[in-house]
Amino acid sequence: MKINLVEKSEKISSEVEIIFVKDLENLTNDKEVLEILDFKAKDESCVLLAESKKIYVGFEDNSYECIAIATATAIKKLQTTNFKSAKIELNEVLEENFKALVEGAALGQYKFVDYKSEKDKKKIELDIIVDEKTKKLESILNESKIIAKAVNKARNMVNTAPADFYPEVMAKMAQEIAKDVEIKCEIHGESYLEKHKMMAMHSVGRASIHESKLIHLTYKPKNPKFKIVLVGKGLTYDSGGLSLKPADFMVTMKADKSGGCAVLSTMWAIAKLELPFEVHGIVGAVENMIGGNAYKPDDILTAKNGKTIEVRNTDAEGRLVLADCLCYAQDEIKDIDYIFDYATLTGACVVGVGEYTTGIMGNNEVLKRNAVASALKAGEYATSLDFNRFLKKTIKSEIADVCNVANTRYGGAITAGMFLDNFIYDENKNKWIHFDIAGPAYVEKAWGYNAHGASGAGVRTTIGFLKDLLED
């Protein structure tokens, strides 16, 4: 999709005009027709008047979410027609929410059609009409297009079938991203994991025919303000291992790589935006399968930091991969200012806060609140989940340092986060946040400006958090 900023004095050839409606009573044109069609000025309400070549779209308030959803709704309506271009005249409300307008359009037009025999090849062009182009508007336009493209990159990776996207492919994708934005990329295989005693991650991928890969991207500008580490769970497919998932629960497990895909796409966006931070992106790309060499319930694994883990469920594998990746990050990168991990870690988080919300955990209450605020500001739902001493006892093991699952079915998202805390070094305890994106990462129905499938959860939150650091 091409989005242009066009001054009123320039020649405009758009076929359709998109008109935003918050109050039907204030309309001067087409009011009677819209009333006959029972059009409501509500989120996701939209009507096309083909003869007058107008798309009316409702919105309820002047928030990022409402404007983004309205724009996406109008673009989706446009996609159902033979029209190929549209215009939006920027008014005061839309100018105040220009970021939402651009991102809503770019995210709303997304379709994953790689496996369709007949692909929709129609390209849409959107002209945003302004009295005068300003540096501020041009800056927001360029930035938002990069962010939306990064989200769509993550969506494409997550939506790709597991037969076509396994650890080696994920590593190759990381190399392509690094080449595109000229950042450093290191790929390590299973011999590296063994040599450096990363046996938690190594064990998870043991039964797969695809070799596990540890991916490390590095973006290092001159005079960086902070040093930030992003760690992603890259389970390219999760069968559950010997603790095999029920058939219905195995469907959608291609999305278990969402955290890793978010990290790769975010690294691309950070480099494209030339943000003044040194950022490391670390992904554990692994496939959790069954076979004669599979790791087993009752196994005792030793992580990179020397802690021993009692395995009581091989389907609690993402935390094992993250444990070693977090240790690797802290061993290889010194003087970290922030360390964030992203994972579709627990179904319990989806049960607790719903499909659309990220659960944010950690030891630093201020940092968690700031992360939630950045997420909401960037257009993603998020909430804080608190650790407590009583749940910590539930992951105690009688024969190892820690157990990979709790002895209670309650508070599963939090106990998983507390498991990861065992692999955060003391000096980094207050610098770390765990993002459980199990809910929003992949939803099997369209919602807001998200199509069926992957949403690219985590990308906008992270970019928003980093940009908010610049304002502090």
For residue 194 the two structure tokens come to 């063994």
Q: Coil, helix or strand for 228?
A: strand
Residue 148 pLDDT: 98
- Classify the phi-psi angles of 158: left when phi > 0, otherwise alpha if psi is within -120 to 50, otherwise beta: alpha
Residue 120 pLDDT: 79
Q: What's the average model confidence in pLDDT over 329-346?
A: 98
Instruction: Report whether pLDDT(472) > 80.
Output: no
Strand segments, DSSP code E, in 295-444 are 300-302, 308-310, 338-343, 357-362, 381-384, 402-403, 432-436, 442-443
For residue 226 the two structure tokens come to 């902070």
pLDDT band at 164 (very low <50, low <70, confident <90, very high): very high
Residue 128: closest CA among 111, 148, 103: 103
CA of residue 198 relative to chain centroid, distance: 26
Instruction: From residue 61, give the alpha-carbon distance in Å to each of 77, 90, 461.
Output: 21, 16, 22
Instruction: From residue 133, give the alpha-carbon distance in Å to each of 6, 27, 101, 377, 378.
Output: 7, 27, 16, 25, 24
Sheet containing 300-302: which strands, arranged edge to edge?
300-302, 308-310, 402-403
For residue 247 the two structure tokens come to 């058939």
Instruction: Report whether pLDDT(122) > 90.
Output: no
pLDDT band at 157 (very low <50, low <70, confident <90, very high): very high
Catalytic member of 77, 145, 319, 431: 319
Q: What is the DSSP string of 87-149?
A: EEE--HHHHHTHHHHHHHHHHHT----TT-SS------EEEEEESS--HHHHHHHHHHHHHHH
Catalytic member of 133, 245, 377, 467: 245
Q: What is the pLDDT of residues 8-52, one digit of tens each?
A: 999 989 999 999 999 998 888 999 999 999 999 999 999 999 999
Sheet containing 338-343: which strands, arranged edge to edge?
184-188, 213-219, 278-288, 227-238, 338-343, 432-436, 357-362, 381-384
- Only one residue has tokens 């940009």, namely 467
Instruction: Report whether pLDDT(130) > 80.
Output: yes
Q: What's the average model confidence in pLDDT over 99-120?
A: 95
Q: What string of H, E and C letters represents the secondary structure of 31-79?
A: HHHHHHCCCCCCCCCEEEECCCCEEEEECCCCCHHHHHHHHHHHHHHHH
Given the DSSP bridges, would you call strands 308-310 and 300-302 parallel, antiparallel or unpaired?
antiparallel
245 counts as catalytic: yes
End-to-end Cα distance, the chain: 34
Q: What's the average model confidence in pLDDT over 106-122?
A: 92
Q: Coil, helix or strand for 207?
A: coil
- Only one residue has tokens 């498991």, namely 419
Q: Coil, helix or strand for 270?
A: helix
Cβ neighbours of residue 115 closer than 8 Å, sequence gap 6 or more: 161
Q: Are 167 and 212 in contact (CB under 8 A)?
A: yes
Q: What is the pLDDT of residues 414-461, one digit of tens each?
A: 999 999 999 999 999 999 999 999 999 999 999 999 999 999 999 999
Instruction: Report whether pLDDT(281) > 90.
Output: yes
272 counts as catalytic: no
Residue 207 pLDDT: 98
Residue 173: closest CA among 182, 163, 185: 185
How high is the mean pLDDT of the chain? 97
Sheet containing 46-49: which strands, arranged edge to edge?
2-7, 125-130, 85-89, 16-21, 54-58, 46-49
Residue 452 pLDDT: 97
Residue 160: closest CA among 173, 147, 176: 173
Q: What's the average model confidence in pLDDT over 174-203?
A: 98
Residue 98 pLDDT: 98
Q: Are 402 and 419 in contact (CB under 8 A)?
A: yes
Q: What's the average model confidence in pLDDT over 321-331?
A: 98
Residue 410 pLDDT: 97
Residue 59: closest CA among 46, 41, 71: 41
Q: What's the average model confidence in pLDDT over 126-147?
A: 97
Residue 121 pLDDT: 73
3-state DSSP percent of the chain in helix, strand and coil, to 5 = 40, 20, 40
